[in-house]
Chain A
Amino acid sequence: MAREILNIENLFVEYSNIRGKVKAVRGVNLKLYKGENLALIGESGSGKTTLGTAIIRLLPSSGYIKDGKIIYKGNGNEYDISKFNEKDLRQFRWKEIAMVFQSALNSFNPVLKVWDQIYDTAKAHGISNRSFVRERAISLLRYVQLDPERVINSYPHELSGGMRQRVLIAMSLLLEPKILILDEPTTALDILTQRNIIELLRTIKSDMGLSMIFISHDLSLAAELADRVAVMYAGAIVELGSVEDIFYRPRHPYTLGLIKAVPTVTAGFRELYSIPGSPPDLINLSPGCKFAPRCEYRRSECEKDEPTLVEVGPDHFVACIRHKEINNGR
């Protein structure tokens, strides 16, 4: 269980635009273990999607890895993904790590039928045996509870949002990757469909023993599926721990604030508390803790040096100098 499959070391990712350099990911250290579900939680601009796309090296053209390593451990070897060239990447994507993107509709070419997209994907990664791909595609589509014959001959727009998401998940499994990265897999979907996708992902995990990384702004997705949760703020991980630690024993003021700001439907009416202010500008970052301006536990020291992750419990890490005072949970 505790064998690591991915090890991100001190990763920095930046985007350049007219105004300057956007420091989207700043010094992230993160391990992914075999067979675990890791959730990257954060708001827009927290760097969670950048981190996810950096792992599979699909950053937009203005983005680049400035420093750090992304070590992938598979087939008994270690590779640094950040040093891969285009050819290596083609060998690597989908076969070792696959990604399901946020917008299910935009991930499809609107003028190609589902089968052509599946086959093109397989061909691009060196598998051109039609009948083999077809057989595998059909069994995967059936596995994600779709009618394969109907779906395979459909155009993307003929499918509902939930069906498209299931097709994308099926496609991502085509080459049997070891790691699956899912960016907001349920965000645009209806509640009943969300539930269905969640159940599906749960089944996939128990059947195939994949490692999964979920990227989401939605705490409830992490609560549903994650074994471990990494909470990101302004490009850095501020808290990392088991799902129980994060939801029941949060030790970072930001995590605590998020949990206190999210309404629930079950268990009566509960007052909620908002976090004042808004996230910082990632171009002109001030020194010190980036959450400090919004933090009710702020002290003058907070504005001097940025706190680093310290272990506060078994496999529970927090980047806050006042973590000792925040241990009452909710």
Chain B
Amino acid sequence: MKAKEILRRIFIEPLIIISRDKAGLIGFIFLLFILLLSFVGPYFIKLDTEVKLDKIYQFPSKEHILGTDNQGRDIFSQIVNGGRDVIIVAFLAGLISTLIAVSLGSLSAYAGGFTDTVIMFITEIILTIPQFPLLAVLAAFVRLTNPTMLAFIIGFLGWPALARAIRSQVLSIKERDYIEAARVLDLGRIHIIFSEILPNMLSYIVISLIMAMTGAVYSQVGLIILGLVPFYGHNWGLMIQLAWTRGAIFYKGSIFYILSPIIAIALFQWSAVTFTRSLEGIFNPRLRAGE
């Protein structure tokens, strides 16, 4: 009985709500497809590393549904195997920026006074530094040996704008009557921030997390394309860089090589952003109550 109830609340209700918004539903389906492809797909479709000089720049066929690259390797297998790292780095980076933004933003708004002034001063300084050039410079200095490291750097630079938005949200919720009531009932600061204020911003925070993820995708792919992140492995960013540096634009047949990762990235970004439309509903108890 209990397990059934939990199942219903965590899986079934959100699905019902997602299905109400058509655009959100389409986003959700595409997102699910890309995630499955990138995380489950590699177990079935191995990355094709074998150079086949007789099959360079082939157009899509039954055998190679997205054609082949400059060394005759299957592009589809590269797409399937190239998403995981991009998505993991994006998720980690988004999570880190969101966590920092939520803690600093809500602390700043709730504490007020001197704390607020200091936090906002730091936030504004970081906000004024142009992000991408700084990332580029940092990437040149820090030895980026693994994706986690990259995620941390992107995450630590990505929070200020969100922190400011969170701060203003907390400031407005702080003034509501139910917060006053909680203060008069002496429920304590911790309770007020975590139990009264933040749950009201949950949809906003999750949407911001997804937005931060999409930002992180562009940051890392940008760095990889510029060749500033020399980490090993295989990913969509690297595919674009390779296609580019191997002169893909000079060959008519290379269009699938360069377009495939670009479309994969764009599709991921688009479906994530579109999916956020449904999130509003999932966290809104008004819609959840199952009426």
Which residues of A does B touch, CB under 8 Å?
Answer: 18-19
Contact = CB atoms under 8 A, between A and B. Distances in A.
B22 interface: no
Contacts of A18: 20, 287, 291
Interface residues of B, number: 3
Q: Give the dominant DSSP class at A's interface.
A: loop
A19 B289 CA distance: 12
Interface in B1-46: 20
Contacts of A19: 291
Nearest to B281: A18
Contacts of B20: 18
A280 B20 CA distance: 27
A56 B183 CA distance: 46
Contacts of B291: 18-19
The 4 closest A-B pairs by CB, nearest first: A19-B291, A18-B20, A18-B287, A18-B291
A18 B287 CA distance: 9
Contacts of B287: 18
A54 B291 CA distance: 28
A19 B20 CA distance: 12
Nearest to B291: A19
A19 B287 CA distance: 10
Nearest to A283: B291
Nearest to A19: B291
Nearest to B286: A18
A296 B121 CA distance: 65
A314 B287 CA distance: 49
A284 to B, nearest CB: 11
A279 to B, nearest CB: 18
Interface in B248-291: 287, 291
A20 to B, nearest CB: 10
A282 to B, nearest CB: 14
Interface string B117-132: 0000000000000000
4 contacts: A18-B20, A18-B287, A18-B291, A19-B291
B22 to A, nearest CB: 14
A283 to B, nearest CB: 10
A86 B223 CA distance: 55
Interface string B95-114: 00000000000000000000
B216 to A, nearest CB: 34
B17 to A, nearest CB: 10
A125 B263 CA distance: 51
A18 B20 CA distance: 9
A17 to B, nearest CB: 11
B278 to A, nearest CB: 14
B16 to A, nearest CB: 12
A19 B290 CA distance: 10
Nearest to B287: A18
A47 B213 CA distance: 47
A18 B21 CA distance: 11
A19 B291 CA distance: 7
A18 B291 CA distance: 9
A86 B287 CA distance: 35
A281 to B, nearest CB: 11
A19 B286 CA distance: 11
B20 to A, nearest CB: 7
